[in-house]
C-alpha cells in the first residue's frame, strides 16, 4: 500500500502526484498532505500490516518445518565439526579507527595500524563483493580452503571435507553484515587500489576516501542502513558518531 503513486525529478524541483515542489513552503505542504492521506487510510494500513504479519508467520513456520525435513534426510552425511563453520572477515574496531586519525593529525605514521585497518576494509570489500557474485550464480566459497563449491541442491561438500547449507550460507552472509549492493563499485575501486598501494600515505588516502563514501551514504537522506554498518563494529549511533567526527577532521 502506498501513500503516493510516484515522484518525477525535474531541473527546478520534483513532482509528487501532480504536486510540484520547488520551494520549502510547498515541501511542508506536501508533508501535511501525506499525513492527511495516512490518517484517512490508517485503519486499512494497520489491517494490511496485521494480515501480512500473519502470512509471514505462517511462511516462517512452513519454512522451518520444510528445512527440518531436509536436514533429517542428510543428517547421516553431516560431519558436525565441519558443517556450516563460517569465518567472515572481522569488522573494524572503531577505537583503532579513531586512533589512526588522531595519530595522523599529530604527524605520527603508524604503518602497522594503517595496514591492519586497510586490510580489514579490503577483506570485507573483497569477500562481500565476490561472495555475492558467487551466490548469484548459486556458488559458495569454502571458508576452510577458499575453493568454490558448485551444485544444485542446498547441501554442499568441499573437496577439503567441509560442508555447507547454501541457505545457511546466505543467511550467515547477511547476519554478519557483509557489504554489497549500491556501493559495490566503490568497493571494487578500493580493492584494486589497495593491491598496489605501498606507502603509508597511499594507504591512508584510500582509507580516507572509503570513509568519505561512508559519510556520503550517512548524509544522503536515504532511509537505508548506512554502508558503514557493514564495516565498523558498533551500534548505529556509535558508527554514525565516529563517521561524522572523522569527516569533520579530514
Candidate ranges 62-66, 110-114, 218-222, 233-237; pick with highest mean pLDDT: 110-114
Would you state the pLDDT for residue 171?
A: 94
Q: How far apart are CA 141 and CA 130, in angstroms?
A: 9
Mean pLDDT of 30-40: 91
For residue 177, the SS3 value is: coil
Would you state the pLDDT for residue 181?
A: 65
Mean pLDDT of 32-43: 91
Q: How far apart are CA 190 and CA 206, in angstroms?
A: 7
Mean pLDDT of 165-178: 94
Residues 198 and 174 sit within 8 Å (Cβ to Cβ): no
What is the average pLDDT value for the chain, to the nearest integer?
A: 89
Mean pLDDT of 214-223: 71
The total of other beta-carbon atoms located within 10 Å of residue 208's CB is 15
Would you state the pLDDT for residue 244?
A: 86
Q: What is the pTM of this model?
A: 0.72
Q: In Å, what is the CA distance from 143 to each residue of 64, 84, 128, 176?
A: 25, 9, 13, 14
Q: How far apart are CA 102 and CA 79, in angstroms?
A: 48
228 falls in which pLDDT band (50, 70, 90)? confident
Task: Tell me the DSSP string of 216-230.
Answer: HHHTS---SPPGGGG
Mean pLDDT of 225-247: 87
Residue 144 has pLDDT above 90, yes or no: yes
The total number of residues written for the chain in this structure: 250
Burial 117-137, CB ≥16 within 10 A → b, else e: bbebbbebbbbbbebbebbee
Q: How far apart are CA 192 and CA 126, in angstroms?
A: 10
5 falls in which pLDDT band (50, 70, 90)? confident
What is the grid cell recorded at 208? 580516507
What is the grid cell recorded at 29? 505542504
Which phi and psi angles does 88 have, rounded to 5°?
-85, 155
Q: DSSP code of 91?
A: P
Amino acid at each position: 500500500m502506498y501513500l503516493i503513486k510516484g515522484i518525477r525529478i525535474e531541473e527546478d524541483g520534483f513532482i509528487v502526484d501532480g504536486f510540484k515542489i520547488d520551494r520549502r513552503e510547498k515541501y511542508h505542504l506536501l508533508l501535511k498532505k501525506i499525513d492527511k492521506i495516512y490518517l484517512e487510510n490508517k485503519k486499512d494500513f494497520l489491517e494490511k500490516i496485521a494480515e501480512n504479519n500473519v502470512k509471514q508467520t505462517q511462511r516462517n513456520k512452513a519454512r522451518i518445518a520444510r528445512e527440518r525435513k531436509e536436514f533429517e534426510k542428510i543428517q547421516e552425511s553431516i560431519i558436525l565439526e565441519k558443517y556450516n563453520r563460517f569465518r567472515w572477515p572481522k569488522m573494524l574496531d572503531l577505537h583503532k579507527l579513531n586512533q589512526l586519525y588522531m595519530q595522523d593529525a599529530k604527524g605520527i605514521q603508524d604503518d602497522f595500524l594503517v595496514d591492519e585497518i586497510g586490510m580489514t576494509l579490503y577483506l570485507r570489500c573483497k569477500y562481500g563483493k565476490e561472495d555475492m557474485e558467487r551466490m548469484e550464480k548459486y556458488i559458495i566459497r569454502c571458508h576452510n580452503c577458499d575453493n568454490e563449491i558448485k551444485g544444485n541442491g542446498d547441501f554442499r561438500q568441499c573437496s577439503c571435507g567441509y560442508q555447507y547449507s547454501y541457505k545457511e550460507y546466505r543467511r550467515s552472509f547477511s547476519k554478519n553484515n557483509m557489504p554489497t549492493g549500491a556501493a559495490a563499485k566503490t568497493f571494487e575501486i578500493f580493492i584494486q587500489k589497495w593491491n598496489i598501494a605501498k606507502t603509508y600515505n597511499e594507504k591512508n588516502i584510500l582509507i580516507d576516501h572509503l570513509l568519505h563514501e561512508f559519510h556520503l551514504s550517512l548524509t544522503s537522506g536515504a532511509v537505508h542502513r548506512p554502508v558503514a554498518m557493514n564495516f565498523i563494529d558498533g551500534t548505529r549511533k556509535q558508527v554514525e558518531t565516529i563517521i561524522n567526527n572523522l569527516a569533520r577532521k579530514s
